[in-house]
Amino acid sequence: SQTIHQWPATLVQPVGSPLSLECTVEGTSNPNLYWYRQAAGRGLQLLFYSVGIGQISSEVPQNLSASRPQDRQFILSSKKLLLSDSGFYLCAWRGTGLSVPTGGANVLTFGAGSRLTVL
């Protein structure tokens, strides 16, 4: 079965500090990977997506970056956090080819999320 792990679950960071959020997927290969951000009481904003190792597409210009060093690893980073970076960050994956979750390739499966507070 496929699982997605995301960490840390919660973090409080000062303005100007760096950030690294990590996401890994198990039980699948060549997944599409995504980073979303959700501000309090708001919808999900797509930040980055990746269709393969080293392939990153950015949706919103900002001080965040993403990397995919391995097939099933997706990292969200920042060199200097801003107050506006606070939010709930969600990693998600979509199966491709034969490696799809229950429900098929139309399903986006989310990790448990990382709640970031920038002070």
Partner 1 sequence: GQSLEQPSEVTAVEGAIVQINCTYQTSGFYGLSWYQQHDGGAPTFLSYNGLDGLEETGRFSSFLSRSDSYGYLLLQELQMKDSASYFCAVRARGPDSGYALNFGKGTSLLVTP
Q: Tokens for 94, please give them.
A: 């979509």
Judged by CB under 8 A, does residue 36 bind partner 1? yes
Quick one: which segment of 19-27, 67-75, 76-84, 100-108 binds partner 1 (CB under 8 A)? 100-108
3-state SS, residue 102: coil
Closer by beta carbon to partner 1, 14 or else 69: 69
- Least distance in Å: CB of 111 to partner 1? 6
83 φ, ψ to 5°?
Answer: -55, -35
Query: Which of 60, 82, 107, 119 is close enough to bind partner 1 by CB under 8 A?
Result: 107
Closer by beta carbon to partner 1, 8 or else 103: 103
| Per-position x/- string for 39-78, each x denoting binding to partner 1 as judged by CB under 8 A, each - no binding | ---xxxxx--xxx-----x-x-------------------
82 vs 68: CA distance, rounded Å: 23
100 vs 36: CA distance, rounded Å: 20
2 vs 38: CA distance, rounded Å: 24
